[in-house]
């Protein structure tokens, strides 16, 4: 289950979502944020099934953003109002917790949220 929250109302807003392996690859080839899929939803609470290959992959990051200016692009040089957020479960798929994403940052991608160190 995923729940997206924001200071502004999300009613009648499209929420753009991407899921990523938090870490992908083996040994020296390991890298963060290997995309699994991207999609959009019309509700701030939703569930979604997807294939997750645990071979060489760990964790799950769910990233979301809202197109506040309705231009179909996550921020441009002329418009910096789109908000985003992410939730991370580094133990996924051993755990399958709910993802609560608070949209707090303007104009940042998933790499802003992970890796944290």
CB of 25 closer than 8 Å to CB of 56:
yes
Query: Is position 49 within any domain?
Result: yes
**Interacting residues of 96 by C-beta distance below 8 A, sequence separation 6+:** 89
Residues 31-55 have pLDDT tens digits of 899 999 999 999 999 999 988 888 8
Query: Is position 108 within any domain?
Result: yes
pTM of the model: 0.91
Query: Is position 87 within any domain?
Result: yes
- CATH at 6: 2.60.40
Residue numbers of the domain that contains 62: 2-112
Q: Is the pLDDT of residue 28 over 80?
A: no
Query: Is position 6 within any domain?
Result: yes
Specify the range with the lowest mean pLDDT, choosing from 1-5, 45-49, 50-54, 58-62. Answer: 50-54
CB of 23 closer than 8 Å to CB of 32:
yes
Q: Please name which of 71, 19, 69 lies closest in space to residue 41, comparing C-alpha atoms.
A: 19
Query: Is position 117 within any domain?
Result: no
Q: What is the pLDDT of residue 53?
A: 86
Q: How many domains does the chain have?
A: 1
Query: Is position 70 within any domain?
Result: yes
Q: What is the pLDDT of residue 86?
A: 97
Residues 68-112 have pLDDT tens digits of 988 888 998 888 999 999 999 999 988 888 999 999 999 999 999
**Using CA atoms, how far apart are residues 115 and 117, in angstroms rounded to an integer?**
6
């Amino acid at each position: 289950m995923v729940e997206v929250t924001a200071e502004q109302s999300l009613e009648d807003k499209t929420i753009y979502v991407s899921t990523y392996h938090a870490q992908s690859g083996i040994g020296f080839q390991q890298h963060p944020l290997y995309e699994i899929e991207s999609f959009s939803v019309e509700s701030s609470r939703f569930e979604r099934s997807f294939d997750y290959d645990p071979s060489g992959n760990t964790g799950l990051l769910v990233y979301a953003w809202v197109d506040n200016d309705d231009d179909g692009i996550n921020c441009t040089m002329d418009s910096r109002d789109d908000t985003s957020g992410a939730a991370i479960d580094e133990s996924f798929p051993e755990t399958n917790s709910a993802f609560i994403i608070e949209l707090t940052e303007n104009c940042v991608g998933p790499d802003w949220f992970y890796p944290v160190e």
